[in-house]
Structure 1
Amino acid sequence: MKESRQSNWKKELFEWVRIIVMASAIAFFINTCIIANSRVPTGSMETTIMPGDRIFGSRLAYKLGEDPKRGDVVIFDHRTGPGPEETRLVKRIIGLPGETVDIRNNQIYINGSETPLHEPYLPEKMDTEDYHFEVPEGCYFMLGDNRNNSADARYWPDPYVPENKILAKVFIRYYPGIKAIH
């Protein structure tokens, strides 16, 4: 009888270990291949995403035939300072490969257009210097929605993000509360 209890206890323990290992493997696979889970540390994307928000991005969005589009909010790795270290960032795509992006009179103009880019997501009017950017092929130009308080491409040593550094397209904020991200 004692051996039977000990045998059952060992089987039970083995089953629990097996379940935990399988759950961990599934979570690891989902987090590295399907979903990017990030916490937003700064206010550079206010009011679309607030400091402390937790977001999910789809790692498959751009691997299944869709190309990154202007207006997409993305998670990416990029060098933002003089050193070689990359930082994980969340910003909005403004300039596409091969485009020119001009910032003049606190508005954005794409490819020399006389009509400024329509940006209803901005929390307030941008107050910035004038800039001219020529986005190389295979790269994107990113800005935060809270332009007056965003350390974005205007200030990086290399303002262009290669497509292979884009990790995911943000689609939902899950904390605090659920909100679709556009």
Structure 2
Amino acid sequence: MIVNEVSKPKNDFLSWLVVILFGIVIAFVCREFLFSPLIVKGASMMPTYESEDVIIVSKVSEIDRFDHVVFKAPYEDEYYIKRVIGLPGDSVEMKDDVLIINGEEYEEPYVNRNTENPFQRRVTENFTLEEITGEKVVPEGYLFVLGDNRLRSSDSRHYGLIPIDSLLGESKIRIYPLNHLKLFN
């Protein structure tokens, strides 16, 4: 068999070009439709997330109560990350710093509580969903979300219910800093 020495580098170049273009298309499809990396900004989700943490957001997850979701901010051109507290059909209430969903009390071990300050007895003011949103239960197509750092979080207490169609997705894993690598359920 005779091989033309001139065409071999040209064939190698075209092979590599096809592989690189295919890789770019696969990366674009994954980022656009399956998952996306994001950098957390701010302290509203401390201690779960620190500012500058890098997370991977799944765009295909089914959202459940207490998941961490990323959504388009209601009044800014940014994305927020918060914890889902109320799903469609849920009644939500906070009484004496105890979360009550559908009449059942829930502990919130993820909430940032400053136990060193004796004057800070509560981190979340009393409220009902109806007082905040005018709705007795979370309507279909919406979520009620709160930050874990309740004293420093702008969340559904301030801007109301979040449309489900504004969700980017669910935070599944923290990948940076490496010493805080964590997979979230």
What is the TM-score with the length of structure 1 in the denominator? Answer: 0.80
Secondary structure, aligned partner of 2:30: helix
> For residues 109 and 58 of structure 1, do their structure 2 counterparts lie closer, same or farther at Cα, with a shift above 3 Å needed?
same
Q: Percent identity?
A: 33
| C-alpha contact 2:98 2:107 (8 A) present in aligned 1 | no
| C-alpha contact 1:99 1:110 (8 A) present in aligned 2 | yes
| C-alpha contact 2:99 2:108 (8 A) present in aligned 1 | no
Q: What is aligned with 2:176?
A: 175
Q: What is aligned with 2:123?
A: 127
Q: What is aligned with 1:69?
A: 64
> For residues 57 and 42 of structure 1, do their structure 2 counterparts lie closer, same or farther at Cα, with a shift above 3 Å needed?
same
> For residues 21 and 167 of structure 1, do their structure 2 counterparts lie closer, same or farther at Cα, with a shift above 3 Å needed?
same
Write the mapping of 1:19-30 to structure 2, written as runs, cut at 5 A.
19-30=19-30
Name the CA distance, whole Å, in 2 between partners of 1:78 and 1:6.
Answer: 57
What 5-or-longer segments of structure 2 have no aligned partner?
Answer: 115-121, 130-134
Name the CA distance, whole Å, in 1 between partners of 2:5 and 2:145.
Answer: 62
Secondary structure, aligned partner of 2:158: coil
Asked if residue 105 in structure 1 is aligned to residue 96 in structure 2, the reply is yes
Q: What is aligned with 2:17?
A: 17
Secondary structure, aligned partner of 1:23: helix
Number of aligned pairs?
Answer: 166
Which 4+ runs in 1 deviate beyond 6 A? Answer: none
What is the TM-score with the length of structure 2 in the denominator? Answer: 0.79
Name the CA distance, whole Å, in 1 between partners of 2:51 and 2:16.
Answer: 38
- Aligned-pair distance for 1:6? 4.3
- Aligned-pair distance for 1:105? 3.0
